[in-house]
Every structure is written in structure tokens, then in C-alpha cells.
Amino acid sequence: MKIEYGLATQNDIEELVRLRIAYMIDDFGSVSDEEREGMKKQLPDYFSRKLGTELIAFVARDNERIVSVAYLHIIEMPANSTLLNGLYADVLSVYTEPEYRGKGLCTTLMKNLVEYGREIGLGRIDLKATEDGYPIYEKVGFKEKINRYKDMRYDF
């Protein structure tokens, strides 16, 4: 095993689609054929438009094959008293293939992601942690946020 860390490029889109679907199966237990086909249809275009600008994919490769990924989705909003430059990011779809788990890949990706965020001047990085991911994120420096607002959503 020879792990190399870096950023995904346009040449990696097929692998990113594969890993996104694997993440969804891992997170939700399964995906239907219709869901899989919908993701295979939408994701290549999304990645080709957003990768490297609004979406930075931190990857670990074993002999050129991507085996772990963490996405930084960069968002710009109007400045406020706690986010003076208006830039923040969400961490999305952190995934490591099962046979590579427990080897520190995710921790390294997250450290790289945080350093990148610092370098480009993000005001904060948000994420939602699973029980499995929580200790990794806490080790890297993420803290639970106390919010006076209630998370809400309107689904169509």
C-alpha cells in the first residue's frame, strides 16, 4: 500500500462518481437502481462544473486509485459580524473504502482540508458528523456548535 494525498482533477470524475455512490450506499444502506442511475446522470456534469472552484475534493490514492475522499464545498454569502469576508465551507461526503479504514487516511485528508481552508481565508468550516466520524473530526479540531436557531428544511 502506497498512499499519496492530493486534490482530485477533472480526470478523476469517474472515480468521484463511483465513490459518491459507495458513500450513499454506506450511509443509507442501499440505493435503488433509479437513484443510482440518477446520480450517474447528474454527478459527472456537476463535478465537471464545480470541481476545483466551489468543490475541492481531497483524495487519498493507492497506486493511482482513489480510496478515500473528503469534499470541501465553498460558499460565499453576505458578510456578517462573525463572517466578515462572507466565505465559509461545508464538508461533504467523507468516505473511505472499507479495507482502508482505520489507517489514518481520513484524518490526513481532514487536516489537509482544514489547512487549505485556512490558506484561502475561510471564516469557518461546518460539517455534520456520523458517530463513526465524530472522533476523527474532533481530533482534527472540529467542535460541536451550539446554535440558537433550529435546523429546518422545506422539501419539494
- 76-130 residue pLDDT tens: 999 998 899 999 999 999 999 999 999 999 999 999 999 999 999 999 999 999 9
How far from 80 is each of 7, 76, 84, 88, 150, CA to CA, in Å? Answer: 30, 11, 6, 12, 19
Q: Please, what is the Cα angle at 125 between 6 and 150, to 5 degrees?
A: 145
Class of domain 3-140: alpha beta
Q: Which residue has the cell 458578510?
A: 79
pTM: 0.93
Look at residues 68, 67, 56 and name the one whose alpha carbon lies nearest to residue 7: 56
pLDDT at 147: 85
pLDDT at 148: 87
pLDDT at 146: 86
| Chain centroid to CA 22 | 13
pLDDT grade, residue 12 (50/70/90)? very high
